[in-house]
């Protein structure tokens, strides 16, 4: 059996020790196996606390191979960020078992989760129940298009708070607010501040964060974890990764 909450407890410890954690997101469709493994290794050396592996669509059938290649290079946890629930690997340490709470699409609220549950049981990876919210970003992102859902308006803090509370009361262990990969605008700091004051579970923030300074602002506003992916796809420079890590951990 899977050791319950091992990775989740690790994430809580990251918050306790560092104030905020740094996740590097690797899309197996955007890079080959060697590039994915090298990026993961560079992220770990810079102080990343975990590697997310996922994507909105799967054009290449090498997700499991990507996870294996990454695992050979790093010791920090590998967490599946399932843009589609057919993504899975027994070599990952955990999976964000997500419900897209900002959507009114029943397939993404519960339908895909029911389909995926037997596969996840077979994979024997730890599940982290996650409330997933898409926030308006000024552009049509892949996750918004593929999910066929309307994002929460970026100036409606009250709507975001209501969704966060619903996630918490439903028993979710973590909330992920996402502007989407390559978003024109990242999530406003005033929205992060507003929701964090009304929640008792960890908050992940990602999407459209292009600079270390922007990442620092997310942490100072209340983000417990910051996810960086697209910025490293465009520029996998080791110094840039280190600058993001420093900004997130030092706040």
Number of domains in the chain: 1
User: What is the per-residue DSSP string for 49-109?
Assistant: SEEEEEES--SSS-HHHHHHHHHTT--S-EEEEESSTT---TTSSEEEEEEETT---HIII
Q: What is the CATH number of the domain that holds 172?
A: 3.20.20.390
Tokens describing residue 36: 């994915």
* Domain ranges, residue 244: 6-250
Answer yes or no: is 1 within a domain.
Answer: no
pLDDT in tens, 3-39: 579 999 999 999 999 999 999 999 888 888 999 999 9
Answer yes or no: is 158 within a domain.
Answer: yes
Answer yes or no: is 127 within a domain.
Answer: yes
pLDDT in tens, 81-103: 987 556 789 999 999 999 999 99
User: What is the per-residue DSSP string for 1-20?
Assistant: ---TTHHHHHHHHHHHHHSS
């Amino acid at each position: 059996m899977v050791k319950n909450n091992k990775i989740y407890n690790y994430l809580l410890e990251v918050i306790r020790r560092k104030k905020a954690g740094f996740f590097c997101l690797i899309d197996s469709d955007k890079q080959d196996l060697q590039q994915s493994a090298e990026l993961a290794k560079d992220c770990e050396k810079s102080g990343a606390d975990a590697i997310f592996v996922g994507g909105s669509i799967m054009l290449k059938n090498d997700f499991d191979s990507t996870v294996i290649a990454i695992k050979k290079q790093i010791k920090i946890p590998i967490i599946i960020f399932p843009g589609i629930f057919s993504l899975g690997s027994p070599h990952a340490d955990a999976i964000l078992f997500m419900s897209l709470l900002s959507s009114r699409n029943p397939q993404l609220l519960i339908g895909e989760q029911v389909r995926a549950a037997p596969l996840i049981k077979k994979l024997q990876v730890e599940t982290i129940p996650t409330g997933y919210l898409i926030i308006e970003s000024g552009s049509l992102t892949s996750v918004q298009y593929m999910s066929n859902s309307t994002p929460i308006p970026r100036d409606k803090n009250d709507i975001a708070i209501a969704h966060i509370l619903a996630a918490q009361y439903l028993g979710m262990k973590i909330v992920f607010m996402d502007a989407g990969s390559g978003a024109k605008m990242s999530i406003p700091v005033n929205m992060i501040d507003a929701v964090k004051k009304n929640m008792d579970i960890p908050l992940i923030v990602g999407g459209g964060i292009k600079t270390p300074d922007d990442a620092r602002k997310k942490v100072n506003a209340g983000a417990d974890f910051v996810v960086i992916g697209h910025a490293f796809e465009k520029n996998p420079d080791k110094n840039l990764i280190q600058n993001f890590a420093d900004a997130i951990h030092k706040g």
